[in-house]
Amino acid sequence: MSVDFGCIAWHEDGIWDATSLASTRDIGLIIDALKNQQTNGGAPALIAIEDEFVIIARALGDQMQMMISDVTYALDYEVAAELVEVLDLEFPQDEDEPQPGGDIDLLSDLGLGEMELLSILDDSELYPDEQLEAIANRLGFGEQFNQVIESN
């Protein structure tokens, strides 16, 4: 998949549901979509930008948690630069090594800890959409995630 893809998933009455995210390159619109879809557990948004990197975001009440799979993409992608700024991370330099940034443990309470998330994101054999599929499967909404992908 070489185009952007975004999905918001939520858990209600013991059942996961998911829908596509209308905007993948505007952090403000992503935050608005999450706030509009708030549930008790905080709906995660899983976003793949082209075949390059992943953004995961989650709203828990007034608290917004976000992460990026590789902060060095801030050098080439406006959405990544905007996220680095929102997260108050140090802006990367050309010589910096790829590394994730932000709230890496944002899915821990849903059963996907920081180390396991990093393991998925570090798998160089997976494209970003495949990484997101692995995350969705691990969280329990893989089927709903695939339905959203197929409908796009």
Q: Where are the domains of the chain?
A: 5-151
Q: What is the pTM of this model?
A: 0.94
pLDDT higher at 20 or 2:
20
Q: Tell me what pLDDT residue 40 has.
A: 63
Compute φ and ψ for 68, nearest 5 degrees: -130, 140
What pLDDT, on a 0 to 100 scale, did the predictor assign at position 78? 96
Kindly report the average pLDDT of the chain as a whole number: 93
Q: Which of 38, 45, 34, 26 is nearest to 86 (CA)?
A: 26
The top-scoring range by mean pLDDT among 12-16, 35-39, 120-124 is: 120-124
Cβ proximity of 70 and 98 under 8 Å: yes
Q: CB count, 10 Å around CB of 152?
A: 11
Q: 6-10, 11-15, 24-28, 94-98 — which is least confidently predicted?
A: 11-15
pLDDT level of residue 42 (50, 70, 90 thresholds) = confident
- The angle that helices 128-139 and 142-151 make with each other, rounded to 10 degrees, is 140
- Whether the CB-CB separation of 49 and 25 falls below 8 Å is answered with yes
Which pLDDT belongs to residue 2?
61
Q: Each residue of 91-128: pLDDT tens digit?
A: 999 999 999 999 999 999 999 999 999 999 999 999 99
